[in-house]
Structure 1
């Protein structure tokens, strides 16, 4: 029950105060509670209630997150279970917000140990979330009043400090207000106070150049992506630490949410940021975030030069295949006409072939019908011979080449394999529904050295 007629427990009054002070701008609020929590919500704020189920907690949180309910109030005996599931949801979900707020409330029973909240700050999953607020019961100084300390983690600063608790304020149930009126979500990410940001990359000109000569470059690195990272850290005051995984280049992500290379370093949280000419790949976007693009680039495929056609078919090049078919048809048609004229099959094919080669007949006793057909065939042969001779001279003067590869269709038609130093070159086209693109992407042969 989230909207009761009245609020009576101090923790419920405090929860209501936190909602009205810090969560009014939220689209939707998710309550992950093992018991009923009585609160009154603002009219513009929708909510969802999750009864935690250890075996299905990831799916429960994922469902709420995909509905836009990505701010959470958690009240569980084992809040660590929520953080583990929450980190998995961050990789699985499509709805992602960078300013999610998590408020952990203590359980209201005598056997509850409030240290489980502060112990949660040492978790690796907690170090990825800036806006965490722990409501921890304080040592009571009065039997009638309850006090709650507002605690978060330092999050920023040097590595040895980020997991330390940061005490922000104390709430007095009798006074009904906070003692210091501090901002309970102080990390606005504008100043990280030297926090280490791990960046994974490998040398790939002109985007990333590592291990440069210090005499040429004082920081030993350069490139388009490097400059973007250095400028980002200059703005927010962070320290860049590079994670090297050169052997796998861009790498890949496996079905069990592990991976190698740049994308593997990011998905397994070995690095916070991945650079080196990364594209907007769909499969990778499903498990990690992408920034806005900073440059448009394209890939140039180098194909073999057209080869000179072999010499055996040079005599056939002056005419197209359709023209050769027409010539064969003309040969048989003229032979048939000559057969009808002389009423005999004697030397008709030889005579027809000779006349098409502009060779006259040697029979002086031919009738006018035969001479008429012979005259037309000699004229036809003269035209064909001159056209063929000119084309043949051109073929011998200028060598003929096979068709060049100018398009993806040409690449597929030639059944040519193409190579690259990583399968990442196919990530942008591998999901294409076009048959040509699908066939082309399947013909890659990736190797570490090309």
Structure 2
């Protein structure tokens, strides 16, 4: 016979982690069952495992004694299973029990055989391992448990009631308890399951539901299905749904919308009822102390079974809640101010980009320096020194600067340059360069003068970050999808987000100075935003690039027993197209069709681009340049007269 602690038995890998906590104490009841009960226990456990646990990846066996090894038949049977053993002298005081359960869960083991005096301690530890804020495991499956209780030490019925009355018991429909030592000698074991249908808060709730009786000779008396799928018929159970009003997803008061229809459909098929709940915190938050508010907080702490409100796949939330299968796709962008017509005084600047203006200015500087250096070299090293000095061009810094500036706009010197000199050849080369500059500038200027010019639209994340525009939302939930992104542009955008009330948003939206959130669903419809009006949409356009986009999900309590059936329903709804139909129906029946049309038209930036007659404002920039030149020359002339007068007074 193979030892059950061997890692390999009959070609099967047996995962067995032995956590033995503490040492033997006094003659406290370390052995919970006498030999007769041990034999019965082994036979019952074998029967249950064979019938209901045989397809499970592995089983977690949690015991408070070592009597399981005294039954050689059971020992051999367990050696054929993939098993994780958690053994402790006192399971309720075991400081490592939570850690042991987390290790088992991370190994993919979700089925439990409990042979302990107080099974409620195991269920509490399982709840802490899955539901607390600080203990994280990404595996989340509703547990399947089989516990055995003896009536010899304590009222077994009371133990069962305490076990099934724990809040954690609501997260599993598959908790079965076998009570040994009832009044019937023919049927010494009574089988119960948890009352999954009535809420814990119900005053007259009976925690346990009788399933069957068992003896070693005949097996189960009623041949009941111990692990029947209770989700198939919830018997009118009330499911609490946290809702944030956001059509076409959902609205609480009438319980309408796309996601509300999913839950209505679920309860129509599974015989349950819906109670919508909300608070004033919108999507809310989950705090490190284990509390929470809003939709996320209500689902996390068990006040709600489901949460719907266009929830995206937020990574930080996934640690503490359950995500349904995703359905369709939505994206969040901004309604930003339209590009405005640029004033005529800027038109002279438009033909060149900033890089071209920089190249142009550098070429003027290089031209001036080059002409001055070549002139000095010509005077020093060539036979043209006398005639070059007589012409007096490019000899001083001021003269060189003004002549280089004139050359850049194709202004010819007042007197011809000396023929055949290096300065003449260099001047001709620069003339060709500036001929190209001026031709390109004139061509671009003509196009800017014939059509209205607008400021650059905000159409991308980089544009939004560079603009420094503040964007508004009623809750930080609008930036949850951006919090884990560390690119510089996204960090700037998050810093520019401002939370305001709807009343403040109504006032600020009309100023045309802020970005306003709009969300587009898979069917092309936009979610309802109460601050949007004809005036605001008319002066705005929708940013072409999404701030972020994501599949939409329903959130549930971690390890929710409804997840599998709910995901099956979502798959069927996606196949037959009902989700898109419900989106369109909600937008058509409950939302403003005018608003939907206006937002769709705002996707495109409408700007006039037809040729038009010149106006005085188009020439404003040129007139300003002329005025600047006249003013500067007048000031310089007056200063020169004053300097000359001061010199004359000094001489006198």
The residue aligned with 2:514 is none
Going by fraction, where is helix more abundant, 1 or 2? 2
Note closer, same or farther for the CA distance 1:352–1:448 as it changes in structure 2 (3 Å cut). closer
Q: Deviations over 1:218-248 (max 9, x none)?
A: xx33110011110010010100111122x21
- Structure 1 position 168, deviation (Å): 1.2
**Mapped partners of 2:79, 2:94: distance in 1:** 32
**Mapped partners of 2:4, 2:407: distance in 1:** 106
Gapped regions of structure 2 (runs ≥ 5): 6-34, 69-73, 379-383, 506-652
Conservation of the 8 A alpha-carbon contact between 1:335 and 1:352? no
Q: Deviations over 1:92-138 (max 9, x none)?
A: 4322224x311111258x43332212332222222222111111134
**Mapped partners of 2:439, 2:184: distance in 1:** 117
- Structure 1 position 408, deviation (Å): 1.8
**Mapped partners of 1:66, 1:374: distance in 2:** 79
Q: Where does 1:156-305 land on structure 2 (aligned, <5 Å)?
A: 156=197, 160=202, 163-173=206-216, 175-211=217-253, 220-245=254-279, 247-305=280-338
Note closer, same or farther for the CA distance 1:70–1:329 as it changes in structure 2 (3 Å cut). same
The residue aligned with 1:431 is 484
**Mapped partners of 1:384, 1:90: distance in 2:** 71
Conservation of the 8 A alpha-carbon contact between 2:150 and 2:179? no
Q: Does 1:413 align with 2:462?
A: no
Q: Where does 1:287-436 land on structure 2 (aligned, <5 Å)?
A: 287-307=320-340, 314-319=347-352, 320-321=356-357, 322-337=359-374, 340=378, 342-343=388-389, 344=392, 345=395, 347-354=399-406, 356-363=408-415, 367-369=418-420, 372=424, 376=428, 387-392=440-445, 394-398=447-451, 400-436=453-489
Find 1:103's aligned residue among 140, 146, 150: 146
TM-score normalised over the length of structure 2: 0.60
SS of alignment partner, residue 275 of structure 1: strand
- Farther-moved stretch of structure 1 (397-406 vs 247-256): 397-406
TM-score normalised over the length of structure 1: 0.84
- Farther-moved stretch of structure 1 (185-194 vs 162-171): 162-171
Note closer, same or farther for the CA distance 1:35–1:337 as it changes in structure 2 (3 Å cut). same
**Mapped partners of 1:111, 1:380: distance in 2:** 105
Conservation of the 8 A alpha-carbon contact between 2:195 and 2:207? yes
- Structure 1 position 60, deviation (Å): 1.8
SS of alignment partner, residue 264 of structure 1: helix
**Mapped partners of 2:288, 2:199: distance in 1:** 34
Q: Deviations over 1:307-347 (max 9, x none)?
A: 55566654443332223322332344345445546145265
- Higher RCO (CA-CA < 8 Å; seq separation 6+): 2
SS of alignment partner, residue 266 of structure 2: helix
Find 2:64's aligned residue among 8, 31, 34: 34
**Mapped partners of 1:382, 1:177: distance in 2:** 105
RMSD (CA atoms): 3.4
Find 1:47's aligned residue among 74, 78, 83: 83
- Structure 1 position 275, deviation (Å): 0.8
SS of alignment partner, residue 296 of structure 1: strand
**Mapped partners of 2:192, 2:120: distance in 1:** 16
Conservation of the 8 A alpha-carbon contact between 1:127 and 1:162? no
- Structure 1 position 45, deviation (Å): 2.7
Note closer, same or farther for the CA distance 1:330–1:30 as it changes in structure 2 (3 Å cut). same
The residue aligned with 1:94 is 138
Note closer, same or farther for the CA distance 1:382–1:90 as it changes in structure 2 (3 Å cut). closer
Q: Deviations over 1:166-189 (max 9, x none)?
A: 11111124x252222221223431
Paired residues in the alignment total 434
**Mapped partners of 1:379, 1:272: distance in 2:** 78
Gapped regions of structure 1 (runs ≥ 5): 212-219
SS of alignment partner, residue 231 of structure 2: coil
